[in-house]
């Protein structure tokens, strides 16, 4: 049973009722991520996601945590290339508290100056942690290779230089630019009463307005034939190959998902069986699609011993050529689709 409606301020609500559950998950999805940042704003989407938990006009940091913990609920958030999500999971009877707290975070965060300084240090540590993780760093290099000067090339966390120089005023200006009801979706799944949800969302989000101009989503297009590399003193060599994929909402999303499964998305996939099982040349070998607003990518990732790097790369390319030249069998297609 699905529900959908729009508030007078433009905020959309979508829900799927699952009445056999005793829990409900609710998320506030905002159309703001690193894809929407200017070069001088890189990292602000993620910084802002951290800061909304550091106090509001109604709750301090401790109260935000304690109120959700007191009912056994879960509260968290994440930032991606094209969105920010604040979400909670609670027993169905505690849905009013979840909507209250999520609206508080999205609309009423105070961006306390003292908390701002502390959280800057947390994010700098997060960036350092990624730098120490080659299997994460290689995907950032792939983004740079595939998008060049486009905003999708920028890291979600931002850079050490930019994060170190941002001021509280930069966060406030960025929030005013991007946190808007017409660019927000409140999504629910679980056991809820539609009439109650309609009243709750109207009460906690209905008075939210942002009169400023609406930011436009930049157009992006993946590049090919680009190479990025970074040398680090590690035991493994991490390889990523990127290809154009299907954009968010495109007709090819589901065929691409089936292709991903049979090529590198499962233990029975072609790349896993050939490179890990038959040749024993990689512990980790997989493919993954990414879909963004207006464009998409399809990537192959492998973690190998440096001495096997060239042969694994050649084998990946050989498997891609085989796929293009010979296609796939009915059996592969049916099994990949069933698995998916």
Q: Please compute, for residue 233, the number of CA atoms within 13 A of its CA located in the half-sphere on the CB side.
A: 0
Q: How far apart are CA 80 and CA 45, in angstroms?
A: 9
Q: Please compute, for residue 212, the number of CA atoms within 13 A of its CA located in the half-sphere on the CB side.
A: 12
Kindly state the tokens that stand for 145.
């290779």
Write the CB contacts of 308 (distance below 8 Å, at least 6 apart in sequence): 281, 282
Q: Kindly provide the residue ranges of all beta strands, DSSP E only, lying in the chain, ordered along the sequence.
A: 2-6, 12-17, 23-30, 74-79, 84-91, 184-190, 237-244, 284-292, 295-304
| Phi, psi angles (nearest 5°) of residue 222 | -65, 145
Q: How far apart are CA 26 and CA 143, in angstroms?
A: 31
Query: What amino acid positions are annotated as catalytic residues?
Result: 49
Alpha carbon distance, N-terminus to C-terminus of the chain: 23
- Residues 46/32, Cβ–Cβ less than 8 Å: no
Burial of 330 (0-12, 13-18, 19+ CB in 10 A): exposed
């Amino acid at each position: 049973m699905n529900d959908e409606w729009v508030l007078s301020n433009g905020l959309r609500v979508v829900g799927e009722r699952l009445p056999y559950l005793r829990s409900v998950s609710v998320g506030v999805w905002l159309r703001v991520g690193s894809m929407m940042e200017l070069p001088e704003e890189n990292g602000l989407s993620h910084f802002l996601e951290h800061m909304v938990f550091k106090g509001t006009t109604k709750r301090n940091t401790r109260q935000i945590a304690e109120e959700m913990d007191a009912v056994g609920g879960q509260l968290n958030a994440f930032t991606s290339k094209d969105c920010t999500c604040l979400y909670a999971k609670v027993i169905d009877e505690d849905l009013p508290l979840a909507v209250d707290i999520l609206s508080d975070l999205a609309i009423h965060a105070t961006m306390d100056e003292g908390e701002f300084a502390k959280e800057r240090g947390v994010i700098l540590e997060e960036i350092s942690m990624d730098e120490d993780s080659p299997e994460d760093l290689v995907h950032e290099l792939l983004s740079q290779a595939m998008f060049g000067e486009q905003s999708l090339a920028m890291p979600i966390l931002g850079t050490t230089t930019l994060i170190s120089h941002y001021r509280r005023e930069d966060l406030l200006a960025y929030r005013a630019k991007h946190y808007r009801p017409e660019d927000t979706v409140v999504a629910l799944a679980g056991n809820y009463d539609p009439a109650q949800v309609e009243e709750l969302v109207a009460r906690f989000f209905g008075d939210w307005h942002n009169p400023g101009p609406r930011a436009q989503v930049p157009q992006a297009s993946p590049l090919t034939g680009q190479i990025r590399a970074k040398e680090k003193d590690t035991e493994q060599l991490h390889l990523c190959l990127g290809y154009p994929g299907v954009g968010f909402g495109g007709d090819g999303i589901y065929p691409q998902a089936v292709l991903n499964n049979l090529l590198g998305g499962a233990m029975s996939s072609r790349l896993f069986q050939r490179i890990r099982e038959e040749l024993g040349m990689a512990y980790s070998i997989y493919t993954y699609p990414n879909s963004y607003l207006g464009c998409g990518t399809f990537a192959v990732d492998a973690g190998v011993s440096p001495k096997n790097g060239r042969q694994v790369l050649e084998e990946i390319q050989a498997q891609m050529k085989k796929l293009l030249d010979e296609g796939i069998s009915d059996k592969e297609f049916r099994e990949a689709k069933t698995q998916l």
